[in-house]
Each structure stands twice: as structure tokens, then as C-alpha cells.
Structure 1
Amino acid sequence: MRLSTTSVCSRVSTADKDAGAPGSGAPDGLPDTLEGVRARIDAIDDAILGLLNQRAACALKVGVIKQATADPAAAPVFYRPEREAQILTRLQADNPGPLGGADVTRLFREIISCCLNLEQPLTIAYLGPPGTYTETAALTQFGRFASTRPVGTIDEVFRAVESDAVHYGVVPVENSTEGVVNHTLDCFMNSPLRVCAEIELPIHHAFMVSAGNKGEVISEIVSHAQSLAQCRGWLDAHYRGVPRTSVSSNAEAARLVADRTDAAAIAGEMAASRYGLKVLATRIEDETNNKTRFLVIGRQHVGPSGRDKTSILVSTRNEPGALYRVLEPFERHGISLTRIETRPVRGASWTYVFFIDFDGHESEPRIGSVLAEVRKVALEVRSLGSYPQAIVQ
């Protein structure tokens, strides 16, 4: 079905007439009767269906063109995070309401996910088990039409992508209250993978019990150590004295509690749904602005989106002023650093590498100039990738 804007408007107008609705007579331009409004909704739904199928046909055509024009020595790249970021940013800016910006982002993320699945079904590895915040981050970025695969450790996520067992991986890298995830940084030191995108996810903890538990008797509270720390105030106020047990993940806590009638778990609401738990309280975290940043890892070089971030790994000589000489070009060129972390090099005593994030794309001339200057004063500079800044969810 091919529908132009004119035909969409015509169909909606016809629905108004058929319903006997005055349409323009109402202050909001909508029919005055329930039947009239429902007829308008039906016509709009028909129009949306036609336009969605037109978009899907365009996505299929994009896939055909990519296959035909791809380098014979390399597989075509179907997932373009920079293009998705441009689409979502534009739609948020153009959105007149009453839908909120986050609602528009979620709706179109699923439309994009569905269309991309027609071009190339994607498989995404994430730090499991099912029900973790990392799974939520993966679905937030890739939508529910992507196939997700839980693995046991951050190392396994990297290995799954490196071995081409999956297309991309999602790993946590830092939390606004607990700090950096050092193991993710360590994995980058010995991996050829790059950062393709970032996800910032608001973290809201829920207090949950098994379906048969009314919450009257709680003899143990189970969760990840970070989550227990992030909810300490709420736990002290409501369950002071109840033993708290830390496990490998919030999702694992939910799984363990599912078969018990005397224990509770702290996890995300996705874990409650996944393991059939009953949520007794939501948003129990002490810090209301708690967020975790995740990275999408893969092999590709991502083009500029217009609002980007770059991550680099820098090793320096162990001497006074070494870090200053690395950072000075950024200050001189007016480039904002968003994060800097230090990690020791395994097997090399007193040798360190710096992980630096900054605004901009490595294809920009000024970023290229800064990196050239940094390479002159550092032992090694390795780009971990330029990628779109996280879209507000």
C-alpha cells in the first residue's frame, strides 16, 4: 500500500464525515463524539500501518543497495548507530507533543529495530543472566527485534564478539554512584574491538518477593553488593537487622528468591517479570539520579552523527609531567574531557594506561590535530572508537 500525506489526510477527513463529526468545530480539531474520535483513530491507524510498511520497504531497499555496493573483501555493515542517532535526535526536536521525547524515542527505536531486522537480524551478547540491567540496556539500544544472548562474564562478551559468534556486545562501564567498571577497561587493553555506541540507563531498584510471599516475613535480602549499597538507607528504614546477602548479579538474586517464601531480592522490574516475582516497592535507591553507562562493542568504525564522543587509550612514560603533556593539547584546543581513568598494565610494574573520553569525532580536523600532538608525547595512543553520545531515554 502506498500512502502519501495527502491520502492520509483524505482518509482521516473521510472518517470524520462518515462519523458525522464536526471535526474543525471542536477547539482541538477533533470530533465531539466518542464514535467520531474512534473513527478518527481507526483511520489514523490504517494510515500508520501503510506508512510503516513503506518504511520497511525502504529498509529492505537499503539492504539491497548495501549488498550491491559493499567491498567484496568485507561484509556490509547494516547497523549504523550514527544514522539512528540522527533520526532519533531529529524526531525529538520536531516532536510537537503530547507524546514526550522519551516516548517518541522508545516508539521509533522499535520501528528502527523491526526494519533493521528485515535487513539483517542481529545477535547481541550481554552480561547475563537474563533480567540484568545490561539486558535492559541491550534492548534499549537495539530494540526487541534483536536476538539477545546472555553470557557469564564481561570477558565472555568480548570473546563472543571477537569470535564473530555475535554481531555486537553490551557491557557496563561506569555507574554514577559506584564509579567505573574496571574489568571492562581491562578487557579493552587486549582486544581489537571498538566502541560503537553508548547507552545511559536510569537505574531504579525494586524490592521483590516470590508470588506466594506476602512480604510479612523476610529473613534474608539478596542482591548484588552495589545494589545493596545503593539502597542502604531504604533498607535501614524498612528492614533494619535483616541479613543482606550479596550475589553475582541482581538477576541472579531474583532467580534465587523465586523459589523461596522467606526472602526478598533487590533488582530491576525486568527481573521481576522474567522470574515471576511480585514487586512490593519501587525506586528504593537512595540516590534518585542513579545511572549506569554501557558500551556497545564491535568491530566497525562509526561515522559522525553531529553529536559524538571519542574514547582513547594512552600509555605514558613513568615520569613527572607525563599526564599533563597528554592533557594540555585538549585544553588548548577547547575540547571537553568527559572522563579519565587510570589502570595498571598487567605484567609491567609501575606502568599505567589512561582511558580518556572526550567530546567530538576523530574525523574532525581539530580532533585529529589534538591526537597527533598527543601521539608525540605518549608511548602509545589507541583509538577505542568515536560514537554517538547517548540519546536521552
Structure 2
Amino acid sequence: MGGTLEAQLQPLREKIDHLDTQLIRLLNERAAVAHEVGEVKKGFDAPVYRPEREQQVIARLQQMSTGPLRDEHIAHIWLEIMSASRALEKSTTVAFLGPVGTYSEAAALDYFGNSASGLPCPSIDEVFRSVETGASEFGVVPVENSTEGAVSRTLDLLLNTTLPITGEIALPIHHSLLSRSGALAEVEIVCAHPQALAQCQRWLSTHLPKAERRAVSSNAEGARLAAEDSRIAAIAGERAASHYKLQTAAPMIQDDAHNRTRFYVLGGTPPLSSGADQTSLILSVKNEAGAVYRMLEPFARYGVSMTRFESRPARSGSWAYYFYIDVEGHRDDAKVADALHALTDQAAFVRIVGSYPRAK
């Protein structure tokens, strides 16, 4: 192909400009229709946000697409389109474990889009309280990490709240070591959430064996401290690095390359079935032989797959336990409904915490 670079690029740029003109017109038309949907919902006092509907929209577009955009590209693009459309109807406030720059904030924006308003909270307890009191519409809390396991405080609070779980996020966790100078040799103290310290312990032992490891309330708090003291490095992500103007002393320091954290979305209207759902339960049984087997038997009988099983002490002094269980399917799906009905005869305590679209 002959000609200068500019001569070859010019017709392609004109084509992109033409396509962008069509896109902006169509996006505004879409936003106008979404606004009409919002007006209809107001008349029926229906919720603005329906996660199962948004999942279905994205899944349909992914199925239609012939590329070159990949499924994850389509999901991110349409998440932001729908987030902006929701914001035209009503601002969505989402509480998360703060301060600004935490992975909880990243999870919240990954789920609700950047048009949502974030409300940083000093603790997981405050995230629950914010949604319970109406200070925020939704809350995002960590529930388990693929390396370190369950987040115990979240499980304990789920037992005593009436908030439903209405969604989940599975976020890849890429830890970086951040400091003011970005010089590894200057690091004397490493500040991070206890789970982040645990997730990077092998790297820290190899590269910073003499550095003090100091546990703080969140990785973003560690980043804030690092911004104030050149001796301190934080373990955190890109959002914290940008917000606190820190340099990367070492990227990707997590011991497990596939490290992920799962978050629950709390609050809002319980979603209808999306076709790709999960149901979370809290159960307890009498302290007698075979009780746990009888509790789980209905899932096997009706062909319901169990994807998670955790236990927590009931704190009653009698060695009793609560069991936190996730199963595939929505509570309204026939086989899940049958299993739950049978379960009520076997368990001493049953709480359906939520049925919601499963994280991709």
C-alpha cells in the first residue's frame, strides 16, 4: 500500500468519525427510551435497578457479537452505558469498605459502573449499617478470598441482618507494592490489610525479609500512610496508587497469580431468575448424629449443586454451628424450590439470604 502514513490513515479516521456520529445518536436514543422505562416504573413503584435484566441484556449482545470485541469488552461497555442511563433516572449510592482506593471500591464500580456514587465506610459493619438505615441503596462487602478463605466478619453480620444479597462480584486481585519514591531499598515498613499481607507473605519474605509488616484496616489506609511517610510501602492496587500519588516499587506481588476476592452486593429488590443464578443460605441443625448429612441430603435428592460450604460457631457456648451454603440456581427454580421445601423439615434454622445472578 503506497502513500504517506497520514494519507492512508485519513479515510479510516473519517470512517471512524462517521461511525461515532451514528453511535452518539443511537446512544442518546437509547438513553431516552431508558428514561421512558424509568417513568413507567415510577407509576408502578418498581425498582430502577434490575440486575437480572442487565445480565440478560449483556448476555444477548455477547451471543450476537461476531467480534473482534470479546465478551468482557462488551460487558464493560454496556455496563457503563446502563450505569449512565440509570443515573439519568436516579443517582445510585453504593457503600463500600473505605477509604477511597480499596478493592471494595473497585468491586462496587465494576458492578454498578462509574456513574454510581460511592460511599466509603470505615468498616464492614458500617457498610451494613449504611444500607440498613437508608444512607445508601446498596452495599458491597468482601465475603471470601481464593487464597485466604472466608471473611468472618461478613459472615457474622449476614446472620443478623434482614438485607438480601442481590448480586456478587468476583474481582481479580493484583497486588502491587507502592511507595512515595518507588524504591524498594527505602522500604522499612509494609502496611496492608491482614489478608493482603497473608496473600503476599512469600514475596515479602524473599524480597523484604527485614521489613516490619504492619496490619491496618484496609489496603487504601496503608496507601494513605505510605503517602505520608517515605519509609512505608503499601500493598494495594492501581486505584490506590493513582488516588494517593504513589509509585510502584514492585508489581504483581501476590503469591497466587489467580488470586481473586468475591464480594456480595447487599440491598435493593431481590432479583428475579436470570437463568444463571446462585442462592445463599444460612442453616443450623440439632447437635445429633447424622444431622448434617440429613441437612444436605435434599440437595442431592433434587440434583442441586452446592458450590460453597462454610461453618461458623454459633457463639452459644454449646459447640453449635451455623452453616453458610451457596447452591446453583434461583430459589424460584423448581428443583431448588423443592430442595428448600424439603430442607425445612431437616434443619433447625433456615434463612434464605438471597438469590442473585452468578458472577461471570
TM-score (norm 1): 0.87
Q: State the Cα deviation string for residues 56-75 of structure 1 (Å, max 9, x = none).
A: 011101101101123xxxxx
- What secondary structure, in the 3-state scheme, does the structure 1 residue paired with 2:278 have? strand
Aligned to 1:99, the other structure's residue is in SS state coil
Unaligned runs of 5+ in 1: 1-25, 27-31, 71-75
Instruction: Name which of structure 1's ranges 42-51 and 235-244 shifts more when overlaid on structure 2.
Output: 235-244
**In the alignment, which residue of structure 2 is the partner of 1:312?**
281
- Mapped partners of 1:306, 1:213: distance in 2: 47
Give the TM-score taking structure 2 as reference length.
0.95
Amino acid in the other structure paired with 1:137 = A
Equivalent pair of 1:113/1:144 in contact (CA under 8 Å): yes
Task: Spell out the pairing of 1:303-342 with structure 2 (5 A cutoff).
Answer: 303-342=272-311
How far apart are residue 269 of structure 1 and its match? 1.1
**Structure 2 residue 89 is the aligned partner of structure 1 residue 119:** yes
1:241 aligned to 197, 200, 210, which one?
210
Aligned equivalent of 2:259, options 287, 290, 296: 290
- Asked whether 1:281 is paired with 2:256, we answer no
- For 1:68, give the aligned amino acid: G
The equivalent residue for 2:66 is: 96
Q: Distance in 2 between matches of 1:344 and 1:221?
A: 32
Greater CA deviation, 223-232 or 341-350?
A: 341-350
State the distance in 2 between where 1:142 and 1:380 align.
33
**In 1, Cα distance between the equivalents of 2:126 and 2:193?**
20
CA-to-aligned-CA distance 1:168-206 (integer Å, 9 cap, x gap): 100000000000011111111111111000000000001
**Separation in 2, partners of 1:222, 1:380:** 41
Partner of 2:79, secondary structure, is: helix
Corresponding residue pairs, total:
355
- Given the superposition, is the C-alpha separation of residues 343 and 87 from structure 1 closer, same or farther in structure 2, using an over 3 Å criterion? same
Q: Does 1:177 align with 2:152?
A: no
SS in 1 for 2:186: coil
- The CA distance in 2 between the partners of 1:330 and 1:204, in whole Å, is 36
Residues 301-330 of structure 1 deviation map (CA, whole Å, 9 limit, x = unaligned): 210111000011112111111111111111
Alignment of 1:28-177 (within 5 A): 33-70=8-45, 76-177=46-147
Q: Which runs of 4+ in 1 moved over 3 A?
A: 212-216
Q: Is the 8 A contact 1:124 1:149 kept in 2?
A: yes
CA contact (8 A) 2:177 2:233 kept: yes
Distance in 2 between the 1:155 and 1:217 partners? Answer: 36
**Range moving further from structure 2, 162-171 or 85-94:** 85-94
Bigger CA radius of gyration: 1
What is the match of residue 4 of structure 2?
none
2:140 is paired with a residue whose SS is strand
Q: RMSD value over aligned CA atoms?
A: 1.5
Among residues 320, 326, 329, which one is paired with 1:357 in the alignment?
326
Give the whole-Å Cα distance in 2 for the aligned partners of 1:348 and 1:233.
37
User: Quick one: distance in 2 between partners of 1:235 and 1:382?
Assistant: 41
Letter in 2 for 1:33: Q
Using the TM superposition, give the Cα deviation of residue 98 of structure 1 relative to its aligned residue in structure 2, in angstroms.
2.0
Q: In structure 2, what is the Cα distance between the partners aligned to 1:84 and 1:239?
A: 45
